[in-house]
Structure 1
Amino acid sequence: MIRTISLMMKYFIEQKEFFLYPYKEIKSIFDIVLSKQIWFSHFFIDFIHQDFFNASIDYQKSIIYNQYAEIKLKNKYRKLFFYKVILVQDPNHYSTEHLEELFSWLKTEKIHVNLIVMDSSSNKVLTIFSNFKDQENIESFIKENIGHIHNKDIEEINLLEIEKTTKEKKGYYFAPKKAYFTSIFMALNILYFIYISMSGSTTDISHIIQFGAKYNPLIADGQYFRLITSMFIHIGVLHLLLNTYALKILGKDVEFMYGSLKFILIYLLAGIFGSLASFLFSNAVSAGASGAIFGLMGAYLYFGIRKPTIFSSRYGMNIITMLILNIVFGLTNSNIDNFAHLGGLMGGFFTSYALGLKGEKIFKLKQMLFQILIIIFIITTLFTGVNIHQQSWEYHLHKGVNYLKEKDFEHAELQFEEGLKKNENISEFYFYLAYSHYQQGNRDTAIQYLKKTLSIDPNDQMAKNFLNDIQNE
């Protein structure tokens, strides 16, 4: 009997990836429980002696309920499913007739149980009770393997060693290699922060715009590089520290899951997706690696879909919980660019799908088609955003100021007047129109525009000084 159970457990470990679940002291082979977690569902398998059939109803209930109660304490927020395999060696030794009371009790309890009889003498397998769908196909699996047991001649079965070997083959253990490109991206963030800080404050919006922050009018004017440079700029030390720490925690495993080249592409493309989403839906100046880091979470999610058992075993619901908390925190904080976060998340997921996991070919037909779709999406989204923002008053203000710097007063005034059609309550338009007319010798017109400026913003000190200077000439 021990040999039969040990061999069946070996098959479960090697082929179904059910692993040892140490929840109590093991005194006999009937105390060993195997488990498998897939997202929010947790499956358990153990073997029961044939004496279970002839035991009292209280004993039968205790066998099932006590195990459930102990395991539930450690898995409060997961759905638990229990497979109880009753091993019999004598077909005349058991009968299900007197189990009706147990079955009735199980139907009323909120315990998911599947009772399977495994007759090793006749190689028959039968499910005698179940209150959940056997999505792991345990009954079929036992039927397929029960016949092999008698043909195996094994002196010793070390379940711990079998589990270790299986996990190594299946990819449960990530090799302790250095994540070089994770470290490189961290270093780039820190070095660029230091470089920007040498000439001004990283919390000064105008200063970080000069170094490549996401500023919609400049992107709409052709400075597309800001979609990339903005992900290496951070607004203040705390912003830098939080993103660098998150990159360190998330990046090393993603780099192992996908390999260095794919990791680089996922990180950069997720950052671009985040920048594009922010460019399309947010007018605020923004910067930071958050979009790319959310993209790494997207890469985790894709890995979880492809390798749900490994994902659940390594991370449980920690990644999902972290993602939900970050989204909720972002939605409740007006200073956070949620569009960049959500764009990065989707970018990381779709890029991971387009590239595949480590060792998988990049240029397969299905993936190449998706890669082309990603490129088309990026280009389409970019120029949709450009078209939208070239119609905004901010864009016309930016263009007008540039023309003023070049002393092209005619085109500057056209831009400011076009901007006023979009929003006539922006005092800067009137101020710059005053400046343009003054430079061309139109003193009276300049005074009118300055008065209009002060009617909108009475506290504009520059406009006050400028008006006093003209009137005192």
Structure 2
Amino acid sequence: MYSFDYMYWNLIKTLSKRGLEVVKAPVSDEETWLEAKGHVPYDLIRIYRKDIDFRQALVFDLESLAERADRIRIASGQRKLSILTIYLSQEAPVDEWQDVVNHPIQDKRISIVPIFIDQSGVEEEFTKVALALNLKLSELTDQIVERSEEEVEHIKAQVLAEIKNSEEERQRQSAIFQRGKPIFTWFFAILQIIMFLLLEISGGSQNIETLILFGAKVNTLILDGEWWRLLTPIVLHIGFIHLLFNTFALLSVGAAAERVFGSFRFVVIYILAGVFGSIASFIFSPYLSAGASGAIFGCLGALLYLAFSNKQAFLKTIGTNIAVIIILNLGLGFTISNIDNAGHIGGLVGGFLTALAVGLPEEKILLKRIFGWILVTILGGGALYWGVHSQTL
């Protein structure tokens, strides 16, 4: 009598273990939505447990689902949305209904594939579910036995507890990006725009003499004692495209870093990463250079530090994106001329080490921070010392 109720909760449990996440808690006894997140070839999975007696009720539900799906698609900003909806009904409708589920809803924006499971075709239809969701058939068919009300309540309690724990974990992970507002990210973005306008007014942002006057990195002048040129290039940009690209990158990556580390730590990371980038450029590039790229790569390095501090949160949130951004940008730096990849790598290392030194807001391990500051001092100071003496020999 309770086998279909048990199947309902067991299917939710099985899909949750496969990495699909319940879209909205609490889960009802009748309907559950799960987000696939790339684990299966659908965007959403809908499980609907209700005895459907007539064909028209099935038609009405699918029509309503199509309208809901389009609203979901618009709200989520997706061009297309694919949904697998699994009906669990003890008995099939009394009138002809097979044509309804044999013709999935398909247009340019919405795709809905229905699978209807009733008592007469459980194993056959669960085979379709297993194929659609890349599951082993045994994970589903092993549960096709009569169950008591107590067993249903037991698995229901298990599933609801697991969903609650997952929701709490998601909230903890999202809280990582709510420790600060991107105040200084906007400050540095506005500052570099102001400096760009001043460069243009004073002779042009691509004029070498103007760039030198405003503090671009020039190796010979640094050797002459103008050490401030390791810092000032961070807010200077050579040409509008250079400024545009770095401003967008800063507002994206910098904002994420400031939310994770908080404003004070972000400022320290951004400045020291920029200096590390200038030192690396000073050592490996004889050319004049300027730009916030080193500092921005430092923000990437700081976010990469999150992988060592909270690996699970990193992988579930920004891990893949950060890795792709780093690989893509460094790859472009090695293939396109006039890109100071030494500054990028120096900033990346500097950002990572400074993140270790300042730590995440909840980290309380003093020895870890001391070790980080030692590394920042030794590697940064040692690299600068080596660069100066290698170029004066």
TM-score bin (small chain): 0.5 to 0.7
Does the 8 Å CA contact 1:279/1:385 hold for their aligned counterparts? yes
- The offset of 1:190, in angstroms, is 1.6
- Partner in structure 2 of residue 199 of structure 1: 202
Q: Tell me the CA shift for residue 370 of structure 1.
A: 2.2
Instruction: Tell me if 1:268 matches 2:279.
Output: no
2:193 maps to which of 179, 190, 195? 190
Which TM-score applies when normalising by structure 1? Answer: 0.54
Q: Which has the larger radius of gyration?
A: 1
Give yes or no for contact 1:167–1:173 (8 Å, CA) kept in 2: no
8 Å CA contact 1:215–1:286 kept in 2: the answer is: yes
Deviation at 1:193, TM superposition (A): 2.1
RMSD of equivalent CA atoms: 4.5
Q: Aligned to 2:131, which of 50, 56, 65?
A: 65
**Does residue 372 of structure 1 match 2:374?**
yes
Residues 1:355 and 2:340 are matched in the alignment: no
Amino acid corresponding to residue 203 of structure 1 in structure 2: Q
Query: Could you say which residue in structure 2 is the equivalent of 1:26?
Result: 46
Q: 2:223 aligns with which of 214, 220, 223?
A: 220
Aligned equivalents of 1:82, 1:327: Cα separation in 2? 41
Alpha-carbon distance between aligned partners in 2 of 1:276 and 1:332, rounded to the nearest angstrom: 22
- Name 2:336's counterpart in structure 1: 333
Q: Deviations over 1:14-70 (max 9, x none)?
A: 9x995542544523469xxxxxxxxxxxxxxxxxx9x9xxx99987764433213xx
1:314 is matched with 317
Specify whether residues 3 and 309 from structure 1 end up closer, same or farther in structure 2 by C-alpha distance, changes over 3 A only. farther
TM-score, length of structure 2 as denominator length:
0.64
1:313 deviation in Å? 3.8
Q: 1:343 maps to what in 2?
A: 346
Which residue in the other structure is 2:384 paired with? 382
Instruction: Tell whether the 8 Å contact from 2:126 to 2:137 is kept in structure 1 after alignment.
Output: no
Structure with the larger RCO, 1 or 2 (CA within 8 Å, 6+ apart): 2
Q: Output aligned runs, 1:33-432, within 5 Å.
A: 62-68=128-134, 85-86=139-140, 149=154, 164-171=167-174, 174-175=177-178, 178-315=181-318, 317-361=320-364, 364-391=366-393
Aligned partner letter, 1:21:
E
User: In 1, are the aligned partners of 2:294 and 2:348 still within 8 Å (CA)?
Assistant: yes
Aligned equivalents of 1:219, 1:237: Cα separation in 2: 26
* Structure 1 SS opposite 2:231: helix
* 1:231–1:288 CA contact under 8 A, matched in 2: yes
Q: Partner letter of residue 66 of structure 1?
A: A
Distance change in 2, residues 1:11/1:355 (3 Å): farther
Report SS of the residue matched to 1:26. Answer: strand
Closer, same or farther: CA 273–29 of 1 in aligned 2, 3 Å = farther
How many residue pairs are counted as aligned between the two chains? 308
> What do residues 411-453 of structure 1 show as CA deviations (whole Å, max 9, x unaligned)?
xxxxxxxxxxxxxxxxxxxxxxxxxxxxxxxxxxxxxxxxxxx
CA distance in 2, matches of 1:324, 1:388: 30
- Report if aligned partners of 1:278, 1:337 keep a CA contact under 8 Å in 2: yes
Report the 3-state secondary structure (helix = DSSP H, G, I; strand = E; otherwise coil) of the residue aligned with 2:225. Answer: coil
Residue aligned with 1:372, SS? helix
Conservation of the 8 A alpha-carbon contact between 2:182 and 2:259? yes
Equivalent in the alignment of 1:417? none
